[in-house]
Amino acid sequence: MKKKANITGNVIKATALVALTLGSFLVNANTITGAGNETEKTIKEHVKFPNLILPLKQQEKVVVLFTTSENGKVNFVFAKTDNKEVKAQIEKQFSQLTLTKLKANVAYSVVLNFKTI
């Protein structure tokens, strides 16, 4: 019974973490263009953290810097965080993205906010 409660607790934490992370994308200025909206949607759909479990009541803000090539494929990613697991997951997932609406060889940044409740 204790093991089932622990698993359920971990699933709730992971779900809250993903919801809060993706919720941070929704809080933005009204300066996003159509290309920005499409890029935001692509990132929301493809960047997931189902296996990431942070201790209770922990917050983490990760700034992700990335560039794209001429065909829109992300060719450079750098996640600013001390958590090696989070850094590896973010960099792996961003490097697999293709964001065709962004200009090539321009540095972009995204802020991901993780918070467990």
DSSP per-residue letters across 41-109: HHHHHH---TT--PPTT-EEEEEEEEEE-TTSBEEEEEEE-S-HHHHHHHHHHHHT-B-TTSPTT--EE
User: Is the pTM value of this prediction over 0.75?
Assistant: no
pLDDT tens-digit profile of 44-73? Answer: 887 776 666 665 567 788 899 999 999 999
